[in-house]
Structure 1
Amino acid sequence: MPLVRVDLPRGKPADYKQTIGDVIYAAMRTTINVPEGDRFQIFAEHAPEDLFIDPNYLNIARSPEALIIQITLNEGRTTEQKRAFYRAIADGLHDKIGLRREDVFINLVEVKKENWSFGNGEAPYA
């Protein structure tokens, strides 16, 4: 049930965004047990004045290429699963598109299962 939102600098080609989505989805499948076909992703590009990511917070040097990945998902994953998930995304984006690991900001928003409707005004997990 994850809903993925990626906010990134403006001007990236479609295949760049597709690869980001593929990496995130693969990481979800292998590290946090997301079922096949459960892929809902939103990409939003921003001008520099509309996307501010602190370049040095926690002594992590971020470049202007930094992006934010926010994922809303069901609660219940362990800290170990989350760490593996973060690492899989950062490593995958580094390997596939050359994005620096320092430039990958990830935020998980955990919700209860009844907070989802996938259509028809129904709550299948409530």
Structure 2
Amino acid sequence: MPLVHISLRAGKPEAYRQAIFDGLYRAMHETFNVPEDDQFMTITEHDAANFRYGASYLGVNRGDDLVYIQITANNTRTAEQKKALFQRIMELLGENPGIRPQDVFVNIVEVAKENWSLGNGVAQYA
């Protein structure tokens, strides 16, 4: 049950943003075994004054098309699954909407299963 927050510079068309949603869901489905219809994602757009990044931090040459992706997920995935997820996200977002590998920034925040309520005030995974 990942919750995904995506941040990018403002101005991309709807089809571009939808392609990010589609690619992320597909990557999570393939590598994290996320079930059908488990799609909880938001995109937040920022103007240039409110979007900052290290253009060459750790030798990665980022540009203004940088996309921040933060995934909150249960702390049940292996390091291998996480690496596969990072790779698959980069591949799929490269295919559509055409984001350069250097501009795909992913962070996973792991939480215990009992930290979720998916509605109705119930801790469904506890």
Please tell me the TM-score bracket, short chain as reference. Answer: over 0.9
Note if 1:62 corresponds to 2:62.
Answer: yes
Structure 2 unpaired stretches of 5+:
none
In structure 2, the partner of 1:53 is 53
Deviation at 1:28, TM superposition (A): 0.4
Residues 46-75 of structure 1: per-residue CA shift (max 9 Å, x gap): 011111111111000001110100000000
Please state whether the residue corresponding to 2:121 is helix, strand or coil. coil
User: Partners of 2:13 and 2:108 in 1: how far apart?
Assistant: 26
Over the residues paired in the alignment, what is the CA RMSD in angstroms? 0.7
TM-score under structure 1 length normalisation = 0.98
Structure 1 unpaired stretches of 5+:
none
In structure 2, the partner of 1:83 is 83
Structure 1 moving runs of 4+ over 2 Å: none
In structure 1, the partner of 2:37 is 37
User: Partners of 1:48 and 1:113 in 2: how far apart?
Assistant: 37
In structure 1, the partner of 2:117 is 117
Residues 51-103 of structure 1: per-residue CA shift (max 9 Å, x gap): 11111110000011101000000002111111110010111111111110000
Task: Give the count of matched residue pairs.
Answer: 126
Supply the AA of the counterpart residue of 1:30.
Answer: E
In structure 1, the partner of 2:3 is 3
In structure 2, the partner of 1:20 is 20
- The percentage of counterpart residues that share the same residue type is 48
User: Partners of 1:76 and 1:119 in 2: how far apart?
Assistant: 22
